[in-house]
Amino acid sequence: MKLSVLVPTYNRAERLRETLKSLADAAVPEGLQIEIFVIDNNSTDATKMVVEEMRPEFSHVEYDYVFEPRQGKSFALNNGVRRSTGDIITGIDDDIQIRSDWFSAAESLFRERKDLDFAGGKILPTWEEENIPEWIDPLKDGVLGWRDYGDREWDYDENSPILTGGHWVIRRKVFDEVGLFAEGIGATGKNLMSCEDDVFYYKLLDAGKKGIYCPRFVFFHFIPKYRVSKKYFRHWCFGIGMSQSVMEAQFKAYEGAKIFRVPRYLYREAIRGLGLRIKNLVSGSATEALENEKSVLIFAGYFFERNLSTGILNKPLRLISRVLISPASR
């Protein structure tokens, strides 16, 4: 069996070094061939130098640097998929480290489970911030990419958490059948647009592909200080709303009732969230107040992208959003 490892990266040279070190240090089981592509997504820092400095650590596997000039994670991943020759392919973000037994877990899972098309696993945080706030819960799943769904295996479906873009493992034949990652959406540069994961995940489900959450797959995600903030959370939620609007406009149209081109259910959720937030603030519940802010910000991002992003109000609203939402680094 051959495993292709794709590491898309953008301006995170030192974090990338830690990711590559975890790959170099992990045990490789007998019978598993590995090729690693580090895909530089038009970085302006020392990314290429770091990749070359780490090359001696990978004498036991195939290892290559790839430059992708088109800005966007999906462009980088698709470049890697096209170059790869493995039976199974994994994508690992440049701020994630694998556990030392990860290669063995991946090899045994896909060797034993011939019916399996894709798998995801557990992502645990490693913190730069020493003092973790009490209101951290609303940030866990999305903003922090903290994906711990327990120690029991379960199947991915329409009602489960989705396969995250921080890491995944997919059989090569699946890409041949369902296609590659959507290149019209997702993060570019420092923006926090997303939903490329959602689009690909629902392509997998629509094609009847079988996937599982495998708790034996353990990854560690570095959480920088700037992400542990309410402002970053607000920026992320606003970006989710914008991304959802783009996704539905280009890939999966919402067919229910709308008001001003926005699904009616988003109005209901935003009004409910606003009411609960006010109630939470009065009662002094900071965690619940932040959680209930999410639906308001997603509505705002969706409404902005659908109705105001190209109009005369675009520039003044962006200035206001910079003050209220504080755009942050990717």
**What tokens does 288 get?**
């619940």
Residue 64 phi/psi, 5-degree rounding, is: -150, 150
65, 162: one domain? yes
> Is residue 330 included in any domain, yes or no?
no
Closest-CA residue to 94 (of 151, 148, 54): 54
56, 173: one domain? yes
Closest-CA residue to 233 (of 147, 293, 282): 293
202, 92: one domain? yes
Range of the domain at 304: 230-324
**What tokens does 172 get?**
């090569």
Per-residue pLDDT tens over the stretch 76-99:
999 999 999 999 999 999 999 999
The strand pair at 258-259 and 262-263 is best described as antiparallel
Percent over 90 (pLDDT), the chain: 68
Residues 6 or more apart whose CB falls under 8 angstroms from that of 240 comprise: 142, 194, 195, 297, 298, 301
Least confident of 38-42, 167-171, 205-209, 238-242: 238-242
Closest-CA residue to 270 (of 291, 238, 295): 295
Question: Could you tell me the sign of the dihedral formed by the alpha carbons of 16, 61, 48, 175, in that order?
Answer: negative
29, 149: one domain? yes
Q: Read out DSSP for 84-105? A: ---SEEEEE-TTEEE-TTHHHH
Between CA 183 and CA 71 the distance in angstroms is 10
Residue 303 phi/psi, 5-degree rounding, is: -60, -45
Between CA 290 and CA 284 the distance in angstroms is 11
173, 262: one domain? no
> Is residue 289 included in any domain, yes or no?
yes
Output the domain CATH number for residue 90.
Answer: 3.90.550.10
55, 129: one domain? yes
Mean pLDDT of the chain: 90
Contact 294, 143 (CB under 8 A): no
216, 96: one domain? yes
Q: Which of 227, 249, 270 is the last residue of a domain?
A: 227
132, 211: one domain? yes
> Is residue 329 included in any domain, yes or no?
no
163, 271: one domain? no
Residue 21 is which amino acid?
A: K
154, 249: one domain? no
223, 244: one domain? no
82, 54: one domain? yes
27-48: average pLDDT:
96
> Is residue 54 included in any domain, yes or no?
yes
Count CB neighbours of 91 within 10 A.
24
Per-residue pLDDT tens over the stretch 169-217:
999 999 999 999 988 666 655 555 567 788 899 999 999 999 999 999 9
Side-chain-side CA neighbours of residue 155 (13 Å): 10
**What tokens does 298 get?**
């997603």
Q: Which of 175, 202, 227 is the last residue of a domain?
A: 227
Q: Which of 227, 260, 277 is the last residue of a domain?
A: 227
Please give the tally of structural domains in the chain. Answer: 2
